[in-house]
A and B are shown apart, each in its own frame.
Chain A
Amino acid sequence: MRISSFAGASALALVLSSGAFAQEASLDLVEPIAEYKIYVSENVAKLVEDTTAFVAAVKAGEVDKAKALFAPTRVSYEAIEPIAELFSDLDVAIDSRADDYEKAEADPEFPGFHRIEYGLWEKNSTEGLEPVADKLLADVKELESRIASLTFPPEKVVGGAAVLMEEVAATKISGEEDRYSHTDLWDFRGNFDGARKIVELVRPLIADKEADFLKTVDANFDTVDTTLLKYKDGDGYVTYDKLSEDDRKVLAAAVNTLAEDLSTLRGKLGLD
C-alpha cells in the first residue's frame, strides 16, 4: 500500500504540474489517471520481477523453464500496452516483431521478447540469446525507472484503451504476435484487462450520461471473457491453434466493436 499511495501522490503532482487543466473535464480525470498510474507501476514492478526470472532461465540454458515462463512474464507488459506510445523506444526494444525488420528473424537488430521466443521455439535453444536477454532485462528496468517521472496525458490514457483494441484488431487477432510459441491467448488476456481497467477508472464520470454505451462495452468485454474462459488451462491458456474458427470470429467482432465504441471514449470525456 505504501507504493500505491506514493505513486498516486506523485502522479497527482505530475498531472498538476503538466498543465493538464486545460479543460474542466481533465480535472475530473485527475483521480482516475493517478489510479491508472498506480496500476501501471504495479504491473511494471511485476514485469521486472518476472523478466528477471525469465532472463535467468534463458542465460542458464534452461529451455523448458524459459518456455514455461515466457507467456506469464508477458501478461503484465500486455496489460500496460494501452500507453506504450508514451515509451515507444522501449516498446520497440521489448516487444517488436520480426516483420519490423528487413531481414526478419535473421536480422541482427531483431530484439526483445519475440527474438527470444523465436530462439526457444524455432531453434529449441538458448544459443546466442544471452546478450538479447541481458538487453531485455535492462530495458524493462529502464521502463520501471521512467514510469515514476512519466507524464500521463489524460487523452493518451483514455485513448489508449481504443488504441489497444485497434492493435488487437489489426495485428493480433490473427495469432501473428506470438507466432512461434502460439501463446497469443495469454497476451489477449493482458490486453483486454488493460483496456478494461481504463474503462473502469473513468466509469464514474460517465455512468449517468452514457449508461447505454457502458452496457454495450461491458457486454463486449464479457463476451471476450466468456470466450477466453473456454480456453483456460491451469493458470494460463491453451495455444492459439486450439481457438476454434467460430470463437475467433466472436473475438474478432468483439474487438472491432470495442475499437469502434472506445474510439468515442475520449470525446465523451470532453478530451480533445
Chain B
Amino acid sequence: MLDPKDLRRAPRSLDRRRLLQGLGAAAIGGSLTGAARAETEHHSVADAPVANAASQLDHVPYVGVHQAGVVNPRPANGMVASFDVLARDVDELEALFRTLTARIAFLTTGGPVPMLDPKLPPPDSGLLGPVVHPDNLTVTVSLGASLFDDRPWLKALKPTHLQRMTRFPNDALDADICHGDLSLQICANTQDTTIHALRDIIKATSRQLILKWKQEGNVPVVLPGPDGRAESARNFLGFRDGSANPDSSDAAEMDRVVWVGPEDGEPAWATGGSYQAVRIIRNFVERWDRTPFGEQERIFGRAKMSGAPLDKPDGSEFDVPDYAADPEGRATPHDAHIRLANPRDAAASANTILRRPFNYSNGVTRSGQLDQGLLFICYQADLDRGFITVQRKLNGEPLEEYIKPVGGGYFFTLPGIRDAADLVGSSLIAAARGA
C-alpha cells in the first residue's frame, strides 16, 4: 500500500502518476482509497494541518459507509453553506440528491473540466484551471429539521433528535445566518477549491436549492513538534482548540461518539449518519486582547502558550486535568471553559462530541471592530446528549463576556455514499417511497 507520506517525498514522476490515477474513476476504491485511509489513521480531526505537507493531489474518497468530511482531519479551509430546498415530492428530492452526488463525485475526484462551444457560458467557472485536482476536497451533505417538518411525505422520517436550533442565553441569533433545509460542509486544502466547489454546486442545482447563508473559515497550519505529533490549531482567542477531542482514528470510539447506530432509536435509514451542530460564534477580539493574560488562562482553564491544563502547567495540551485532586477549583476554576464543558467524570463521556471548527475573519462591524470568530462545527450520534447538553453546561461561563453566538443551525449528516452507483440520501429516499 502506498504511504501518503512517501508520496509527498516522492519524485515528480510519481506525483504525476498519482495525479493520473486520481483522475480516473477506477482509482476510487483502488490504491488511493487505501492511501487516504492510511492518512486518517495517523491524524486526528483536532490536529492542525501540517505546514508544507498539503498537495493538490490529496484525495479523500467520497464513497464509504459514512460521508467524508467528518472524521478525517481538517484541511486548512472549510465552509458551511446552508440552503432552502424546493423539492415538493420524493422524485424531486431524489433528483436533487442525484445532482449533488454527481457533482461531489467529480469535484472530489478531479479531472479535466468540460469545454463547450465558446458562444455558450462555460460549464465550469475555470477557477482551478483546465484540470480540477482533488485538493483534499470533501463535501458533506446534511439536512435541517425544516426539510422534514414542511413536507408531510417526509415528516415521519425525521431523525429523532433533529430539531430547529433554539436560543441559548448568550446567543444573539441573526435570522439571516441561521437554520436551513440542507447544509453543505465544504473543506479543502485551499480556499479556491472550496469556492470552486460551491459555485459548481450552485450552478448545477439552481432549480432545487436556494442559498441562504454561508460562512467560510480556516485552520492555521503548523509545523509538527520534535516528536512528529502535530499540535491542535489555535482559535482567534489564541488558545488551542480541540485538545480534548476524541481520537477520530479510533473507529470504535467514532461509532460510539459520532455515528448513529442501529440501536440508537433512530429511523433505520439514518444508520451511519450523524448530527451536525453549526455555530457561528463571534469573538470580541479587541476586548479579549485587553484582558489580563492570567484571567484569559483561568477563563479557558489552560495555559495559553502550551495548551497544558492549569493543574499541570509544565505538561502539554494532551495531559488530562485531574479535577478530583482540585475540588476547590484552585488550579482550574470550576467555571473554566474546559472544566464546564468536560468535567472528566464518568458521566461526561456520554456527552463527548467531535469538534471540527474553523476560524473566520469576515470584515469590520458598524462599531469599527473586527468581525472575527469561530465557525464551530461538531458531530455526534445524539444531538441532545452531545452539543446541546455540553452547551447547557457552558451557559453563564465567564468566556461569554468575549463571545457571541450569532448564527448556525442543527442538521443531520446523511449516511455515506456506499459506492459509485449509490446516491447521497438513498436510504432516506427508499424509506420515503416505502412509507
- Give the interface of A toward B (CB within 8 A): 249-250, 252-253, 256-257, 259-260, 263-264, 266-268, 270-272
Interface stretch (choices B113-121, B284-292, B418-426) = B113-121
For A173, give the chain B residue with the smallest CB separation.
B210
Least Cβ distance of B277 to chain A in Å? 24
Binding site for A on B (CB under 8 A): 84, 86, 117-121, 203, 206-210
A257, A259, A260, A271: which contacts B119 (Cβ < 8 A)? A271
Across the interface, B207 reaches (CB within 8 A) one of A257, A267, A270, A271, namely A257
Are A272 and B86 neighbours in the complex by a CB distance under 8 Å? no
Contact A256 B120 (CB under 8 A): no
Find out whether the CB atom of B121 lies under 8 angstroms from the CB atom of A253: no
Q: Is the CB of B206 within 8 A of A256?
A: yes
A109 to B329 Cα, complex, angstroms: 65
Question: Within the complex, what minimum Cβ distance (angstroms) separates A205 from chain B?
Answer: 15
- A267 is contacted by which of B120, B203, B208 (Cβ under 8 Å)? B120
Residue on A with the closest CB to B119? A267
> Looking across the interface, which residue of chain A has its beta carbon closest to that of B206?
A256
Q: Is the beta-carbon distance between A250 and B117 smaller than 8 angstroms? A: no
Taking the closest CB of chain A, its distance from the CB of B136, in whole angstroms, is: 29
B8 to chain A, nearest CB (A): 40
Structural contact, B121 and A256, CB atoms closer than 8 A: no
Provide the main secondary structure of the chain A interface. Answer: helix
Return the 4 tightest CB-CB contacts between A and B, nearest first: A267-B120, A267-B119, A256-B206, A257-B206
A272 to B117, CA, bound (A): 10
Main secondary structure of the interface of B (DSSP, over half): loop
Q: Which residues of B contact A250 (CB under 8 A)?
A: 86
Residue from B120, B209, B210 with most neighbouring chain A CB atoms (10 Å): B210
B210–A252 CB distance below 8 A = yes
If A253-B206, A257-B207 touch, whether A264 touches B120 (CB-CB below 8 Å) is yes
CA distance A60 to B82 in the complex (A): 50
Cβ of A252: which chain B residues have Cβ within 8 Å of it?
210
CB closest residue in chain A, given B212: A249
B276 → chain A, closest Cβ, in Å? 22
Contact (Cβ within 8 A) B86 A253: yes
In the complex, chain B residues whose CB is within 8 Å of the CB of A253: 86, 206-210
A260-B206, A263-B121, A264-B121 are known; give 4 further A-B pairs, CB within 8 A. Answer: A249-B84, A253-B207, A260-B203, A267-B120
- Can you show 24 pairs from A to B with CB atoms below 8 A apart? A249-B84, A249-B86, A249-B210, A250-B86, A252-B210, A253-B86, A253-B206, A253-B209, A253-B210, A256-B210, A257-B206, A257-B207, A259-B206, A260-B203, A260-B206, A264-B120, A264-B121, A267-B117, A267-B119, A267-B120, A268-B120, A270-B119, A271-B119, A272-B119
Min CB gap A222→B, angstroms: 14
List of B residues within 8 angstroms of A264 by Cβ: 120-121
Nearest Cβ distance between residue B168 and chain A, in whole angstroms?
25
Instruction: Give the chain A neighbours of B208 by CB distance below 8 A.
Output: 253
CA distance A253 to B86 in the complex (A): 8
In Å, the complex CA distance between A266 and B208 comes to 24
Contacts of B118 in A (CB 8 A): 272
